Amino acid sequence: MWMEKSKEKFTAREAAVTVCCALAPLLCAGRIFLLLRGSGSVYTMGIFPMALLFGLYCLWKKALFYQEVFFSVPVRILLAAVFTALQVLGLFWSHAGIGSAWEAVVWTVCLIPPAYAGLNMLFFMAREAAGEGAAREESGGVQEPVGSGAARKSFWGAFALIFGGFCIPFATYYPAIMAYDVIPQLDQIRSSGLTTHHPLIHTLLLKGCLAAGEALPFFSNGDRAGLAMYSLIQMAVMAGCFAWVYTFLKRHQVSRWLGYAFVLCAAFFPTHGMLAVSVTKDSIYAALVMVFTALVYELVVGQERPGGRFFGGYLLVTLLLLLFRNNSVYAWIVYAAAAAFAGRKRPRFCKRVCAVHGAAFLLYLLVNGLLVHGAAATSDTYARETLSVPAQQIARVVQYHGEELSEQDRERLTAVWKEGLPEYVPAIADRSKRDIDGDRETLGQFAKAWASLGLRYPGEYLKAFLLKNKGIWDLTDTTYLNDVYSYAKGYLQITYPSDQQVYMDTLAPGYERHQKLQILQALYRFFAAGDELWRYCPPVALLMQPAFYTFLLLFYGLCCIGLKKPGLLLPAVFPMALLGTLLLGPCVLTRYMYPVMLSVTVLALLLFGREIHSGRS
């Protein structure tokens, strides 16, 4: 119906409204560009004009006048207004002095119509792409058969291509990319003893590889051999996960061209390869989250009742998921509760799923306990790790309202931060919470100070929360591009800070990255170092923004509701809960968002990328 309407000519009223709704944002955009040019910033001139052009195109296609696309007009206006307000707010906060608060309000009002038209068009396109396929699959329609031999051939072909692609950054950065997070893990392995601050299974994997490297007789440098062994293992695990998901997409009738693009992107897009050879807990975990999301999707839409083989794999992936990230347990509990609620109308199936979830959690406790006991690791989760948001809020009030603090406020803050007042860096909470002890008395004083200041400065508390998480909601954010402290190392943190060189020399004296492939290193630096060239290519810049995947995940959820397929929401619950833990975490980095980026990409392909096979419904 709406395609037919879009072919009709504009009425006089529609034409007048469309012209006004197009001219107003164009004038605002011109003003914004002049202000950004004056401030010396051109980065925002990439994604912003691309989004504006899409909105103007949708206005031209009469999308402003769509009456019912999933949701009522007031709901869609509200969604467009919230999105627009967040983007203008991010622009306003990113470039201090580019305009007044009233001007930001005017920008928001003028930009809402193209955002609303764009949202209407996206909902319409989503309904066209997903409606028939989603209805058929959830109702038990026939899938394209894939034989076991063909599936194995597809898996190993994809695995070989992806692993081969990972070998390029492996050769470039042999034996591994060492970010700053690996230094405390090396300290545990070499001197201070193992703790549970970082996932113990990952620390033990690194320790085992280093020990194996030292034991190998045909390598002169044990550290380099051990780190290379770790890289190869991680590359194999991640390539296997990507290849399995490719066969999963193929089995669920995702367009073969999209499947090929998925494999090629996994193999050769620098982000995946560089994280595959980076010694960080986030890489394997992200691949596991991607596989887990696909398994949950299978649990929801599978045509046959899942058997023991499926639940065995599901149990194993769940166990590894919980072991490879400490805060993953909280997100998983939210998912398990949602799964139990979603299956309440299928009692027998629900009992089976709940039994598997109970077994997975008990097995996690058992295995984790055995690892802790066997490695003689100490519990070192730090109470302050849960205080990122309140510590940032207090630190912001201290920085901007320090002269207004009472004597009682200062006494409480001194009781918490012994060496002085908290240091405030908007995008990272590590500095504001680093001196907090975890004893009961200190936490009690902290809670009193937080509550007292929050009642007086609620606006500062909200701003501190939003600025810390700016990378999650602002499509033009740049805070995630830099290292979390004062040195800029790029969004993938391809090296450790120079002031920690002495620690690396002590902890891994044999580590030395070879410098034989300078050309490739230069290319990767252009992609991942401080001045990323892709920032000036709008489509690629959008794909690299963590906030894009936040909105894509929300869009997926809205489409599931609009399509009246609430069961398809369940695969998105864990990524959404994981995103919630990031909101409460210390900062936004690409490697922290990487699990969400992979899982929402798979969900989007499953919902919007399937082929329509006539005669199979």
* C-alpha pair distances (Å), 581 with each of 331, 397, 510, 522: 7, 24, 37, 35
Tell whether the model's pLDDT for residue 535 goes beyond 90.
no
**Per-residue model confidence as pLDDT tens digits over 497-525:** 555 666 666 667 767 666 677 788 777 77
Characterize 424-439 residue by residue with b for buried, 16 or more Cβ atoms within 10 angstroms of its Cβ, and e for exposed. Answer: bbbbbbbbbbebbbee
Peptide bond into 306 cis (omega under 30): no
In the prediction, which pLDDT does 383 show? 62
Least confident of 170-184, 278-292, 326-340, 542-556: 170-184
Residue 5: CB atoms within 10 A of its CB come to 13
Pairwise CA distance, residues 487 & 279, whole Å: 20
In the prediction, which pLDDT does 91 show? 87
Percent of the chain scoring above 70 in pLDDT = 86
**Quick one: 4 exposed, middle or buried, by C-beta within 10 A (0-12, 13-18, 19+)?**
exposed
More confident residue, 402 or 392: 392
Which DSSP letter does residue 423 get? P
Comparing CA positions, the residue from 547, 529, 433 lying closest to residue 488 is: 529
Pairwise CA distance, residues 160 & 166, whole Å: 10
Least confident of 83-92, 384-393, 468-477: 384-393
Tokens of 110: 């003028």
In the prediction, which pLDDT does 450 show? 94
Average pLDDT over residues 37-46: 66
Least confident of 84-88, 414-418, 481-485: 481-485
In the prediction, which pLDDT does 303 show? 58
Comparing CA positions, the residue from 332, 352, 230, 243 lying closest to residue 289 is: 332
Pairwise CA distance, residues 478 & 474, whole Å: 9
The number of angstroms, rounded, from the C-alpha of 130 to the middle of its chain's C-alpha atoms is 24
**Per-residue model confidence as pLDDT tens digits over 170-228:** 998 888 888 777 888 888 888 888 888 889 999 999 999 999 988 887 777 788 889 99
Least confident of 98-112, 257-271, 481-495, 597-611: 481-495
Pairwise CA distance, residues 484 & 282, whole Å: 16
Residues 6+ apart with CB under 8 A from 300: 138, 342, 567, 568, 570, 571
Band of residue 3 on the pLDDT scale cut at 50, 70, 90: very low
More confident residue, 41 or 17: 17
Pairwise CA distance, residues 147 & 155, whole Å: 12
More confident residue, 78 or 36: 78
- For tokens 């020399």, what's the residue? 505
Tell whether the model's pLDDT for residue 595 goes beyond 70.
yes
Tell whether the model's pLDDT for residue 64 goes beyond 90.
yes
Tell whether the model's pLDDT for residue 434 goes beyond 50.
yes
Residues 6+ apart with CB under 8 A from 358: none
Q: Which one-letter amino acid corresponds to residue 379?
A: S
- CB of 33 closer than 8 Å to CB of 45: yes
In the prediction, which pLDDT does 575 show? 96
- CB of 472 closer than 8 Å to CB of 580: no
Phi-psi region of 71 (alpha: psi -120 to 50; beta: other; left: phi over 0): beta
Pairwise CA distance, residues 235 & 442, whole Å: 44
Residues 6+ apart with CB under 8 A from 7: none
Phi-psi region of 521 (alpha: psi -120 to 50; beta: other; left: phi over 0): alpha
Transcribe 585-601 into DSSP letters.
Answer: SSB--HHHHHHHHHHHH
Least confident of 165-169, 302-306, 476-480, 572-576: 302-306
**Most confident region among 27-31, 302-306, 509-513, 525-529 by mean pLDDT:** 27-31
